[in-house]
Amino acid sequence: MDGSPIVARGGASLSPTSPASSRHGNGAPKRKRSGPVTHESSPGSVLDDDQGDHGDHDKKRQPGVKRACNECRQQKLRCDVVQEPFQSCSRCNRLKLECKIESNFKRVGKRSKHAEMEKEIDRLRRNIARAKAQGYVFEAGDDDDMNSPVAPSAAPYTHTRNPSLMGSDEAVSSLLHLKRGGAYAVPHYSYELEGVRLTDDNVTHLFNEFFAYYHPFLPFLSPQQPPDQYNQQHPLLFWSIIAVAARRFSPLDCSNLLTNLSGPMTRFLWTTIGEVPSNYHVVKAMCLLCTWPLPTSTTTSDPTHILCGVMMKTATGIGLHRPNHIRDFSRVSVELNKEQLADRVTTWAVCNIVAQNVGTGYGQPASTLYDWTLALRPGDDPALHLSTDLEARLQIERFCDKVSKEMYSNASDPRGVAGDEHRAMLMRVYRRDYGELQASVMSQQLGPIVNLHLRAAALHMRLAGFFDSSKTPGYMDDLMGLWRAASSFLDELLEVDKVTSPRDSARGTILLYATNYLQQMLVAAGFTLLKLMRSFFCKTIDFDRGRSLFHHSVKAIRATSVVHNDLQWRLAELMVQMWNGARLDSRNNAYNPDDDTAVQMDDSLQLKVRCRHSMSLVFDSVWRWREEYQSQGRGSLENTKHPTHPDSANESSASSSQLDSTLMPSHPLPASGILTSNGALTPGATSLSAAATAPSTLIAGMPYGETNYDFFDPQNWVLDGLVDFNYSGFVPPLEGA
């Protein structure tokens, strides 16, 4: 029976038991019910008809009108209930139902109720399927219970008001009839970001990962603070810690966490920035994301340099650089205790350390501000003092800033590079300053990470040697100093990686957790070895040691790769192809101490790219790869699933097809799908084979110095998936072939 409302003649509102049909408005003849009433008729129907025809249109029911009980009204059956004195009807007595009359009772349609139950059952089945996919196991026999909405073993339901229909609670209990204490338990997700959900255990493990292996590189957060407190300070800081920890670790029930988190994290970051944050904990989050950026395959899609500028402007906007006068930057009066003051000073120092690392690593002017707050003075408030590690790091980065500003900010040169004579004078001054800095830092015995940054500062200073002319006085001495700086940095990094790793020897090495800055300096050191060993300078060094160090550098660069085919992976492949293309052979380049012949110097070490500070070497090397290899069909970065082995061009065909086991990545890498989710790859870059048929003049036909803003960044077109290359054509012919 249809349970829709019924309107009688005269507009009076009748009870749902009235026989008046809602179809009378369509002109259908009204059925008379003066005859015997069947079970389909409603009790009191004759009285209701008379009431509808002769009533006074009052909505109140006249006293003494007989009404059916709730159960009979639900089924539209005759009811013999007696109201005064109350006696249950025969049907309720027979079925052992609760017989009662409620003035606000409304019939419930079976069809709509059943539809709701079916939707609820479908939803629960989807939840169970999702739980199974996450690894939860059901006990035997539970699947049979789930196949039917009503399980045979379901417990009898309890009647509430309408026992003739089974409610959704009974359907749920019958569908999910699982034994208590069984193997299945629905996980409780405490944290969620755009569908990326984490349990408390997941978060605990990720935070332990971060503070054990990433925190030593930038120790400014508190390991004693619980994760929930970081989330309360600002969710962006909480999820930034999660994103950094997920670079090498994913919980068992949350695989590919970094891939899944990359897109939501990027959107959350820029949404927060767009809201003009006034919480300095957002600055902490940006410090982490500038130190360990989300993976990318191109430099043009890497927002780290932009994010670093936003970080510094946000910090100064909320007064981190003036912690004692914070009220000047606030709309309300703010009083900081010593702990809050120390935290703000530390955050401001870390901002400058990170900003200098980004400026040096990307070959751009650093947006640092070394002001009064960061000047250590005797007698200052202890809250303004930094930890010994951060203080040493700050001194090292201030030295790098001084080198960059003096060497590469010449107002009289269109490229900003200091002149040869001025640069030679500056180099003498900076060598002395570096010696004093090294003595001060090394005497404190602060650990391998500080020492690594000290070696990186020396390499940053010495890379200016590539800007010298072969006619510059002391040219060979500068090149030898550069060689020693690069080899010392690599020796330090590889030794730390082998001996003093911050994590246990069973799981990995320090290279897996190195900051983006250390990775960039590692690449610069590798290209330094490559460039010097391909030149006249190779006759003045131990070639075998240099080749061994280069091989270990390639392995180290590949070890820093977070996902397959990211920027580090591609740079290592490009470096190996240039090494093999040069066909460097120790037999022709061996150092002979008995050879008194003077080395014939030339200008082969000159850089064409000279506007990227000390990183000009890296960008210049990429341009040269394009000119000497890609344009001639000798090089490709399209298929890097099989990394190229250095010296493969100088070995036999049998050995060249086999990779040196020492050059293979020491850790499994996830697929590069994260690069797409992070917006790193150009749309359509996944269809590499389709691009192979495009004219090769798109890239190869461009002159070296021609201005083309589509490929302004020399690493963009080389290191992304926009252009396909013929990988099989890059290998140079074997000697003697």
Q: How far apart are CA 353 and CA 302, in angstroms?
A: 19
Q: Where are the domains of the chain?
A: 1-80, 110-175, 510-729
CA atoms within 13 A on the CB side of 602: 7
Q: How many CB atoms lie within 10 A of CB 175?
A: 22
Are 626 and 718 in contact by the 8 Å Cβ rule? The answer is yes
pLDDT, position 183: 47
Are 295 and 560 in contact by the 8 Å Cβ rule? The answer is no
DSSP labels, 450-484 = HHHHHHHHHHHHHGGGGGS-TTSTTHHHHHHHHHH
Give the CA angle between residues 733, 735, 737 to the nearest 5°: 65
Q: Quick check: helix, strand or coil at residue 13?
A: strand
Are 582 and 534 in contact by the 8 Å Cβ rule? The answer is yes
From the number of C-beta atoms within 10 Å of its C-beta (0-12, 13-18, 19+), residue 540 rates as middle
Q: How far apart are CA 68 and CA 77, in angstroms?
A: 8
Cis-peptide, bond into residue 295, ω within 30° of zero: no
pLDDT, position 93: 93
Can you list the alpha helix ranges (DSSP code H) found in 148-199? 168-175
Q: How far apart are CA 23 and CA 29, in angstroms?
A: 9
Give me the average pLDDT of each 10-residue run along the chain (737 residues).
42 42 45 45 42 48 72 90 90 92 83 81 85 61 48 39 44 46 64 92 95 95 96 96 95 88 95 94 97 86 94 95 87 84 94 97 93 74 85 96 90 82 91 96 92 97 92 90 96 78 50 95 96 90 92 93 87 89 58 63 87 93 82 58 60 37 49 48 33 32 33 43 35 35
CA atoms within 13 A on the CB side of 325: 7
CB neighbours of 224 closer than 8 A, spacing ≥ 6? none
Q: How far apart are CA 593 and CA 588, in angstroms?
A: 14
Q: How far apart are CA 250 and CA 256, in angstroms?
A: 6
Q: How far apart are CA 578 and CA 640, in angstroms?
A: 15
pLDDT, position 298: 77
CA of residue 652 relative to chain centroid, distance: 43
Give the start-end residues of each E strand in 136-195: 189-193
Q: How far apart are CA 66 and CA 55, in angstroms?
A: 16
User: Given the DSSP bridges, would you call strands 189-193 and 196-199 parallel, antiparallel or unpaired?
Assistant: antiparallel
CA of residue 287 relative to chain centroid, distance: 14
pLDDT, position 589: 55
Are 731 and 636 in contact by the 8 Å Cβ rule? The answer is no
Show the tokens assigned to 166: 């089974």
pLDDT, position 524: 97
pLDDT, position 688: 30
Q: How far apart are CA 45 and CA 29, in angstroms?
A: 17
DSSP labels, 282-343 = HHHHHHHHHHSPPP-S-STT--HHHHHHHHHHHHHHTTTT-GGGGGGG-SS-----HHHHHH
Burial profile 189-225: b = 16 or more Cβ within 10 angstroms, e = fewer = eebebeebbbbeebbebbbebbbebbbbbbbbbeeee
Give the CA angle between residues 410, 416, 419 to the nearest 5°: 60
